Structure 1
Amino acid sequence: MGKKQFYRSMMVIAMPIALQNLITVGVSMMDTLMLGSLGEAALSASALANQLFFIFTLVIYGTAGGTNVLVAQFWGRKDRESIRRTLAYTYRIVLLFAFIMVALSLFAPRMIMHIFTNDPEVIALGADYLRIVSVSYLFFGIATISGNVLRAVRTVRIGLIASLVSLSVNIVLNWILIFGNLGMPEMGVSGAALATTIARICECITVMVYMKYFEKKIMLKIRDLLHLDRSLRKRFIQNSVPVICNEMLWSLGFSLLTVIIGHMGTAVTAAYSIYNVVSQLSSVMSQGIAAAAAVIVGNTIGAGKQGQLKEVIARLQKAAVGVGLFAFTFVFLSRYSMPFLYDISAESMGYLMDILLIGAFLEGLRPNAFVNMIGILRGGGDAKFVLINDILFLWTICIPLGYLCAFVWNLPVWLTFLVLRFDDVIKLGTSTIRIMQGRWIKDVTREEKTINEMEVSI
């Protein structure tokens, strides 16, 4: 495949994913904006209640990540039957976990809210929100898994279309139900929950209609999901469990970083919160490129074209450098717009300027780490290394050293922030070394068939 054709193929996968991630960030920002006008209690209630959804999404994305390695490699061999058998396991895990989360939210919403806050008003509002929005977990899980599987066989537009449907429905219904417009009662937080639920149902319906009537690659039928293929169980567990653990342990560690920042004072917390928004916006393309890399590497290995991997990897890493330059520029230039966008204290603004300057360099390197870890190594079946690499440095270096910087050594905020977020730099180095070793590639669609049998020089 020529260079231009390769990058065109990569962008066909990456751009819809990046836009889909951008829409997801936009939905969160819109919810925050609308509920924020109702007061801090309403905003806090929805934010804290959604922590349960955050946990749910991690399991879903972990399951999808492990499944996609298998699906991408099966698709490289055009083995549709094995893809359908793999999905029989995937949908079962999603449905089981969704039912558990829905049951907890319906029957013990106040107990869940008590974990996050002691404020009676926030607990009451959050419990009402949870009871309604929990129903959407089931639909979100099905839509997300289906969209990710379609992505692995290079069908990416339907995920973007479904997200646009969800965004449109959510914005309109938020305006109607939260504030009581068009003759509807003013429902506040409960209205936001109902709007989110309906939006996710519409998203799920969009994806399911496509898979039923228009999808021509996998051609999944209900009967394909009724029986489990035991010969796939071991490979499914080997690929999905490390990714699920990866996502959950990383998110827990990242939450601890937020806790450390939160105890450094209100001014630092405000600055860090604003930086997170900028970071999310700057990383949407990084996530798209990484997801595209996983599909391309998986397809290449599944098709038995390991000899092409050296060139494929080089091109993917060059693309990551380009995305990194864009992310660096975006974050660096955003420093000049902050005084016009946010009305915060001079102290907070000073911290924000420092954090954004350091963050610009970190965000510039992140795409390379994403492509190496999520795209190349995980797409090549090396999920265990990614798990160890993703968790080890966060938990053994960044969290303990960040705590010491903040509360024992009393180092400047910018230096503490750098230490807390330095794991991406370390992971970039270790993942690059791993790729250069050239013995990480694993064809997970064939029993015990590894790179040792194929001997590819990277």
Structure 2
Amino acid sequence: MGAGLRKLYAADEMLRPDQRQGELPSTRELYRDAGEIALPAVIDTVLVAMVSMMDTMMVSSLGAAAIAAVGITNQPKMIILATFMALNVGVTAVVARRRGQEDREGANKVLGQSLSLCAILSVILSVLGAVYARPLLLFAGAQADMIEAATVYFQILMIGIPCSAITLCINGAQRGCGNTRISMKINLTANAVNIVFNYLLIGGNLGFPRLEVAGAAIATVFGNVVGLLMAFYSLRGSHEHFLRIELHNLLRIDRRTVAPVVSVGLSAGVEQVFMRIGFFLYIKIIASLGTTEMATHNICQSVLNLAFSFCDGLGVAAASLSGQSLGRKRSDLAILYGKACQRISLVISAILASTFIFFGRYIIMAFSTEEVIVHLGTQVLMIIAVTTPFQAAQCIFASCLRGGGDTRYTAMVAMISIGIFRPLIAWLLCYPAGGGLVGAWCSYFIDQFVRFSLVGIRFAKGRWCQMKL
């Protein structure tokens, strides 16, 4: 490779001499190790995003109001799931450390007690979500032509929340062990079930009833149930599997076991709170622009989710490899794996950005042929193209910080950038500046650049490698 590329991508060029603590893997070994964990994780996250996008495409046949109705439920749903996402950050980080330490008993204690917490909390939150669905969606900005369909869709989704929460917990633990193939297989099957029942229930095909938006929600719940069953099957009691369910770990709480999970999870929870508040306000601003703008936003968000999922999968690999390296007391390898995943993301980002620039209009037309939606959506995809490299890098660096337990810092970044800057700048660019939907998406670029700068500096300093879990 050329001198410039070698300096950027070679294993022996990524660390300063004073950072090295032992023998480093070759460049080939480095990217092979990262790829073995990253590839299933990338396939996993891409599949999840593709199903979300296909949901939008299938629902789009019902019109702009139906697209908007499904889109308006996303942030309220994510607010409810935020508790479990935060807990899973702690589960992944601690299990990765225990895997690096070869402490199988400790890893299974963490898993069992986390599952108990997930089960209790998920039932409570799903009931509250179903009861208060309508006022929650009205507060989110649902318009009169979408509120009825959105309420039905959201209430049905709440049935599957316990299944989703428990599956997320198990997948988080498996990823901490580096078992990203298990999560991939679970999501592949669950998403296939979702797509099949979307086809059967949205339009009423092959003799099934035509349930429209409600059918899409029911299909999602069926997929959640299948995913839960497969997740439990992955924990069957075999000596070949590092993780397994043990009844005494489900029933007895050990403070020393739970403490590091709760410590990391609480900070991650604060981060999730600021993220969800920021995103909630952001969606509320966009929803107030009207149904057409909300439908366009939902289409572009689906495309962004698919693009981001590539780097989100790399983030999963970076957190797992970094956490395991820290468990082996090799902070140099933790840094090295994080940088390797970020280097891979640069290549992926370049491909995605080029695709959005040259084929953006055709991508939007796959969802809708309404010219106003196509025109607006194409402009938004240009913004996404410019933002992609920064978003990818910040995702991977932030995943390493969380994997190391530095969740207080990522929470602070979320508060500043997502909780404050994004909704404030979105409002300014959307209304006083008259930028409308395009102005709102410009705030997305600013948010990602700020986060990239803050987490990049923190990653480079290396203090996240010194935290005890």
Tell me which interval the TM-score lies in, with the shorter structure as reference length. Answer: 0.7 to 0.9
1:283 matched residue in structure 2: 308
Structure 1 residues 12 and 283, CA, compared in 2 at 3 Å: closer, same or farther?
A: same
Q: Secondary structure at the match of 2:396?
A: helix
1:343 and 2:351 equivalent? no
Q: Which moved more, 1:283-292 or 1:318-327?
A: 318-327
The RMSD of aligned alpha carbons is 3.0
Displacement after TM superposition at 1:301 (Å)? 0.5
**TM-score of the superposition, structure 2-length normalised?**
0.84
1:194-205 equivalent positions in 2, closer than 5 A: 194-205=218-229
Q: Distance in 1 between matches of 2:190 and 2:130?
A: 23
Q: Structure 1, residues 97-144: CA drift from partner, whole Å, max 9, x if none?
A: 211123225555555555557878855555554554433211111112
Letter in 1 for 2:277: L
Aligned equivalent of 2:230: 206
Superimposed CA distance per residue, residues 7-32 of structure 1 (whole angstroms, 9 cap, x where no aligned partner): 12212222222222222222223333
1:356 corresponds to which letter in structure 2? L
| Offset at residue 196 of structure 1 (A) | 2.4
For the pair 1:3 / 2:50, whether they are aligned, the reply is no
User: Structure 1 residue 367 and structure 2 residue 392: aligned?
Assistant: yes
Letter in 2 for 1:71: V
Q: Give the partner amino acid of 2:105.
A: E
Offset, 1:74: 1.2
Quote the Cα distance in structure 2 between the aligned partners of 1:110 and 1:257: 19
User: Do the aligned partners of 2:60 and 2:66 also contact (CA within 8 Å) in 1?
Assistant: yes
Please give the residue correspondences for 1:13-412 in structure 2 after superposition, counting only pairs within 5 Å: 13-38=37-62, 46-48=70-72, 51-105=75-129, 107=131, 112=136, 115=139, 125-212=149-236, 216-264=241-289, 269=294, 271-335=296-360, 337-338=362-363, 340-341=365-366, 342-345=368-371, 348-374=373-399, 376-410=400-434
User: What do the CA deviations read for 1:20-69 (whole angstroms, capped 9, x no partner)?
Assistant: 22222222233333344445665555555565432233222221112211
Q: After superposition, give the CA deviation of every residue in 1:290-310 in whole Å (9 maximum; x if it has no partner).
A: 111111110011111124345
1:191–1:431 distance in 2 versus 1, CA, 3 Å: closer
Cα distance between partner residues in 2 of 1:175 and 1:339: 21
**Quick check: 92-101 or 336-345, which moved more?**
336-345
Q: Tell me which moved more, 226-235 or 62-71.
A: 226-235
Structure 1 pair 312–46 and aligned structure 2 pair: CA distance change class (3 A): closer
User: Which is worse superposed, 61-70 or 250-259?
Assistant: 250-259
Alignment partners' CA distance in 2, 1:295 and 1:146: 14
5+ residue gaps, structure 2, are 1-24
Question: Does the Cα contact within 8 Å between 2:72 and 2:142 map onto a contact in 1?
Answer: no
* CA distance in structure 1 between the aligned counterparts of 2:212 and 2:285, rounded to whole angstroms: 32
Q: Secondary structure at the match of 2:165?
A: helix
Answer yes or no: is the 8 Å Cα contact 2:286–2:293 preserved in 1. yes
Shift of 1:405: 2.8
Q: Which runs of 5+ in 1 are unaligned?
A: 446-458
Between 296-305 and 259-268, report the one with greater CA deviation: 259-268
Q: Do the aligned partners of 1:267 and 1:345 also contact (CA within 8 Å) in 2?
A: no
> Shift of residue 78 of structure 1?
0.9
Distance 1:315 1:84 in 2: 30
How many residues of Structure 1 are paired with residues of Structure 2 in the alignment? Answer: 443
The answer to whether the 8 Å contact 2:289/2:436 transfers is no
Contact 1:393–1:426 (CA<8 Å) still a contact in 2? yes
Indicate whether 1:424 and 2:452 are aligned.
no
Cα gap change, 1:165/1:94 in structure 2, threshold over 3 Å: closer, same or farther?
A: same
Q: In the alignment, is the contact (CA less than 8 A) between 1:88 and 1:228 conserved in 2?
A: no
Distance in structure 2 (CA, Å) of the matches to 1:45 and 1:272: 12
Question: Quick one: which amino acid aligns to residue 282 of structure 1?
Answer: A
- In 2, distance between residues paired with 1:282 and 1:314? 20
Does structure 1 retain, via aligned residues, the 8 Å contact 2:113–2:252?
Answer: no
Identify if the C-alpha distance between structure 1 residues 351 and 178 changes in structure 2 by more than 3 Å, giving closer, same or farther: closer
In structure 2, do the counterparts of structure 1 residues 187 and 72 end up closer, same or farther at CA, with 3 Å as the change threshold? same
Q: Is the 8 A contact 1:73 1:443 kept in 2?
A: no
Q: Distance in 2 between matches of 1:254 and 1:129?
A: 20
Q: Distance in 2 between matches of 1:407 and 1:325?
A: 32
Q: Deviations over 1:181-207 (max 9, x none)?
A: 444444444443333222211111112
Deviations 1:358-393 (A, max 9, x none): 32121122111111112x211122111111112212
Question: Is the Cα contact below 8 Å between 1:76 and 1:302 reproduced in 2?
Answer: yes
**Aligned counterparts of 1:48 and 1:352: Cα–Cα separation in 2:** 17
Q: Distance in 2 between matches of 1:313 and 1:73?
A: 16
Q: Which amino acid aligns with 1:392?
A: I
1:12 — aligned with what?
36
Pairwise CA distance, 1:229 = 1.2
Alpha-carbon distance in 1 for matches of 2:63, 2:290: 22
